[in-house]
């Protein structure tokens, strides 16, 4: 089944912007291109941008991100042992505007985050034309934890269908996101331990955002997971609950063979107020029914002069069912993440 969405080459152009779900990521995804002059420069400054990956591997939980918030450029990477729950993490920060996230990300795009004071280097290279992307990690050991290094090759030629969607959040706020499940090969070393990735089993889920968040406050709850069916098909889900313009598309979707099938009206219901309580996740139409069992919880809380962030991401396992029009897949103990963000900017 092929994507039933339009191919869009340019997300925004003077006086207009494309909305809805797209067949793939636009070559140009700069939201501020809708404007000109001083307004365009202001909207570029308002654009919060990041590119991250969630790694799916049976031995570890791991995520990484490079983000440019204009007042601050930052990067974070963590690895959590699935058996012991031991956390190894590293964080880098630079002056805002120092991290370039290419407009045409997938075709020769390079993302470089280097914080030499901390010995922190995280790099992405994208080569969609040849069906291959790469992640490189080189983070020095510290007094509190081992170094993290390695390289992963991501197979875009045999990846899931892309999820690319643009939608209004209400008022002047907008969001563009691109996501895809990519088979991963290579290895990551945490100190003396080496984690090998098998592309028949392991994945990196890309998560790119180019968003104009609400001026004063933004919040969301979000989760994702990926797995292979017994037949080898790439399956998974991306789901979110956030305030947005009534009747607009949203980023929630099921990855089924050949398609990122849209979802809507997803609810997250924790079993209790315990920070590690299980969470029931369901779409209104019943095509996603899952239980998330947290294994660890990572929190980041920052207070700046004019902005604040209160964020936590839980890692754990998903069990449940996803349904397409004529097929159903059940899954158990699939690795994934679930997060919550409250941001004032």
Q: How many CA atoms lie within 13 A of 171 on its CB side?
A: 9
For residue 299, the model assigns a pLDDT of 63
The C-alpha atoms of residue 195 and residue 289 are separated, in whole angstroms, by 31
The whole-chain average pLDDT of the chain stands at 91
Strands (DSSP E) contained in 191-327 are 193-197, 203-212, 218-228, 234-241, 253-256, 259-262, 266-270, 279-283, 288-303, 308-323
| Element spanning 344, H or E | strand 328-344
Answer whether residue 4 is part of any domain: no
Number of structural domains, the chain? Answer: 1
Answer whether residue 278 is part of any domain: yes
The C-alpha atoms of residue 307 and residue 171 are separated, in whole angstroms, by 19
What domain range is 118 assigned to? Answer: 12-344
136 backbone dihedrals φ, ψ, rounded to 5°: -125, 135
Q: Could you give the strand order of the β-sheet that contains 253-256, starting from the edge strand earlier in sequence?
A: 259-262, 253-256, 234-241, 218-228, 328-344, 308-323, 288-303, 279-283, 266-270
pLDDT at 235 over 70: yes
The C-alpha atoms of residue 225 and residue 16 are separated, in whole angstroms, by 34
For residue 23, the model assigns a pLDDT of 96
Higher-scoring residue by pLDDT: 312, 327: 327
Average pLDDT of the residues in 144-159:
96
Answer whether residue 304 is part of any domain: yes
Average pLDDT of the residues in 35-54:
92
pLDDT at 341 over 90: no
The C-alpha atoms of residue 322 and residue 106 are separated, in whole angstroms, by 29
Buried b (16+ CB within 10 A) or exposed e, 174-192: bbbbbbbbbbbebebebee
The C-alpha atoms of residue 270 and residue 268 are separated, in whole angstroms, by 7
Taking only the tens place, the pLDDT of each residue in 120-131 is 999 999 999 999
Answer whether residue 88 is part of any domain: yes
- The rounded percent of the chain whose pLDDT value lies above 70 is 92
For residue 343, the model assigns a pLDDT of 55
Cβ-in-10-Å burial (0-12, 13-18, 19+) of 278 comes to middle
Taking only the tens place, the pLDDT of each residue in 169-224 is 877 788 999 999 999 999 999 999 999 999 999 999 999 999 887 655 667 799 99
For residue 297, the model assigns a pLDDT of 84
Higher-scoring residue by pLDDT: 137, 245: 137
Taking only the tens place, the pLDDT of each residue in 260-316 is 999 989 999 999 988 889 999 999 999 999 999 999 887 665 444 445 455 678 999
Answer whether residue 220 is part of any domain: yes
The C-alpha atoms of residue 266 and residue 202 are separated, in whole angstroms, by 26
- How many Cβ atoms sit within 10 Å of the Cβ of residue 95? 9
Answer whether residue 6 is part of any domain: no
Q: Which of 143-147, 234-238, 303-307, 308-312 has the lowest mean pLDDT?
A: 303-307
For residue 304, the model assigns a pLDDT of 44
Answer whether residue 195 is part of any domain: yes
Answer whether residue 316 is part of any domain: yes
Number of helices (H) and strands (E), helices first, in the chain? 1, 24
Alpha helices in the chain (DSSP H): 37-46
For residue 217, give the nearest of 179, 171, 251 by alpha carbon: 171
The C-alpha atoms of residue 170 and residue 15 are separated, in whole angstroms, by 18
For residue 171, the model assigns a pLDDT of 76
- Token reading at 284: 């209104």
Global pTM?
A: 0.93
- How many Cβ atoms sit within 10 Å of the Cβ of residue 88? 21
């Amino acid at each position: 089944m092929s994507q039933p969405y339009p191919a869009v080459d340019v997300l925004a152009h003077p006086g207009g912007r494309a909305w809805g779900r797209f067949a793939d990521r636009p070559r140009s995804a700069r939201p501020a291109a809708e404007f000109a002059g001083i307004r365009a420069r202001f909207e570029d400054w308002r654009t919060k941008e990041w590119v991250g990956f969630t790694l799916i591997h049976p031995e570890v939980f791991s995520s990484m991100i490079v983000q440019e918030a204009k007042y601050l450029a930052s990067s974070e990477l963590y690895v959590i042992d699935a058996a012991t729950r031991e956390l190894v993490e590293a964080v880098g920060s630079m002056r805002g505007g120092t991290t370039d996230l290419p407009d045409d990300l997938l075709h020769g795009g390079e993302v470089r985050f280097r914080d030499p004071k901390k010995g922190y280097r995280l790099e992405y290279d994208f080569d969609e034309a040849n069906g291959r992307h790469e992640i490189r990690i080189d983070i020095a050991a510290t007094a509190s934890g081992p170094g993290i290094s390695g390289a992963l090759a991501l197979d875009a030629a045999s990846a899931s269908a892309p999820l690319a969607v643009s939608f209004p959040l209400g008022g002047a706020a907008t969001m563009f996101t691109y996501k895809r499940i990519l088979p991963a090969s290579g290895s990551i070393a945490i100190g003396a331990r080496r984690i090998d990735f098998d592309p028949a089993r392991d994945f990196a889920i890309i998560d790119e955002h180019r968003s104009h968040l609400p001026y004063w406050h933004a919040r969301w709850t979000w989760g994702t997971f990926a797995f292979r069916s017994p037949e080898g098909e790439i399956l998974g889900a991306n789901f979110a609950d956030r305030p947005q313009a009534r009747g607009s598309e949203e980023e929630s979707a099921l990855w089924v063979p050949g398609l990122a099938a849209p979802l809507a009206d997803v609810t997250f219901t924790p079993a209790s107020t315990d920070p590690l309580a299980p969470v029931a996740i369901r779409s209104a139409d019943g095509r996603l029914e899952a239980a998330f069992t947290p294994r660890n919880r990572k929190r980041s809380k920052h207070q700046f002069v004019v902005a604040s962030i209160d964020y936590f991401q839980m890692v754990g396992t998903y069990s449940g069912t996803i349904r397409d029009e004529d097929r159903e897949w059940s899954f158990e103990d699939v690795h994934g993440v679930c997060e919550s963000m409250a941001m004032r900017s």
